Amino acid sequence: MVLVLQGGLMDEELAGIDFQRFWKRLQQIGLNAYEARSYLVLIGHPRFKALELAARAHVPRQKIYEVLDSLVEKGFAQVVQEKTKLFSAVEPALAIPAYIGRKRQLLEQELTEQARMAEGLVEDLMAAYSEGRGGRGTLDFLRIVSDPDQTAAQYRRMLSEVEHEYLEFSRPPYAVDPFEEQLVKQARLRGVCCRLLLGAEPLDAEHRQRLEDYLAAGVEVRQADSLPMKLALFDGRQGLVALLDPVITRPRWTSVVFDHAGFGQAMKGLFEEYWQRARMLGQEA
């Protein structure tokens, strides 16, 4: 970076392109416009009095002390105490990584606290939600879910509660990859009958190894030439069906979450039909 100084002043006409580019990049990482301008001026000079810096960085005199205090707090400037208080820049190689590190730590702490609060909030709101819907529980009769994270949360919840049987048409892309989901193995340990029907997509070495682990745990797995949809069915009553959106050009799955004995029975009949026609893994099509 070259910031041209002329007679102790930063010549923005000469350094205009570089100055504007770095000024915007500093704002992108979290400095405001005044802070970014002041730091760039400090970089190009050993030290400044506050009001001198205000003139060179085009910061209003009444704002410069606030700006400098913020730069010191963020680790971009330091105070040099002589006869009068002077300010100098902290080396960018030290200031910027340390600043980003502190921001990351604060964000992680904030997210951890929000997650903790969210757990209690979900429980409280779900109780009110169930009461408001006549005590039907957490699932409606039918509900459309397009967000992959919400689909994954519904899948994991139902898989953790299944008591007797878990059936799945499994094909990518996955909201939750069944071969990465420990809840399937936990269901087998509870005595749940688990059957996975895979599409014809080839499996890589990692997925084949996980598949061997599932087979060893007692999960039944077959492979079909094609599958009409993605399906997860729990205890023959509740589950989700994921359908490929036929309208948009970019492939996207929309899930229908259901809790209905008749619909569940129909989905089980569909599963059994494909299961009977499917082949054991390793067999030729």
With bands split at pLDDT 50, 70 and 90, how would you rate the model's confidence at 269? Answer: very high
C-alpha angle 231-236-237 in degrees, rounded to nearest 5:
90
Contact 166, 159 (CB under 8 A): yes
Residue 62 CA to chain centroid, in angstroms?
42
Residue 41 has what pLDDT?
A: 92
What is the rounded distance in angstroms from the CA atom of residue 275 to the CA atom of residue 179? 19
Q: Answer yes or no: CATH 3.20.20.140 is held by domain 142-278.
A: no
Please report where in the chains the tokens 């009461």 appear, as a residue: 131
**φ, ψ for residue 27 (rounded to 5)?**
-70, -35
Burial 202-241 (b: 16+ CB within 10 A, else e): eeeeeeeebbeebeeeebebbbbeebeebbbbbbebbbbb
The 10s digit of each residue's pLDDT in 55-93 is: 999 999 999 999 999 999 999 999 987 678 899 999 999
The 10s digit of each residue's pLDDT in 134-183 is: 555 544 577 888 787 888 888 888 999 999 999 999 876 655 566 566 88
The 10s digit of each residue's pLDDT in 101-128 is: 999 999 998 888 888 888 777 777 776 6
Two structure tokens written together for 111: 């997210």
Residue 132 has what pLDDT?
A: 61
Highest average pLDDT, of 2-16, 217-231, 251-265, comes from 217-231
Helix axes 12-28, 33-43, angle to 10 degrees: 130
For CATH 3.30.870.10, list the domain ranges present in the chain: 142-278
For CATH 1.10.10.10, list the domain ranges present in the chain: 5-96
Does the structure show a pLDDT above 70 at 12? no
Residue 282 has what pLDDT?
A: 59
Q: What is the mean pLDDT of residues 192-209?
A: 82
Residue 6 has what pLDDT?
A: 36
- CATH architecture under which domain 5-96 falls: Orthogonal Bundle (1.10)
Residue 117 has what pLDDT?
A: 82
Residue 13 has what pLDDT?
A: 38
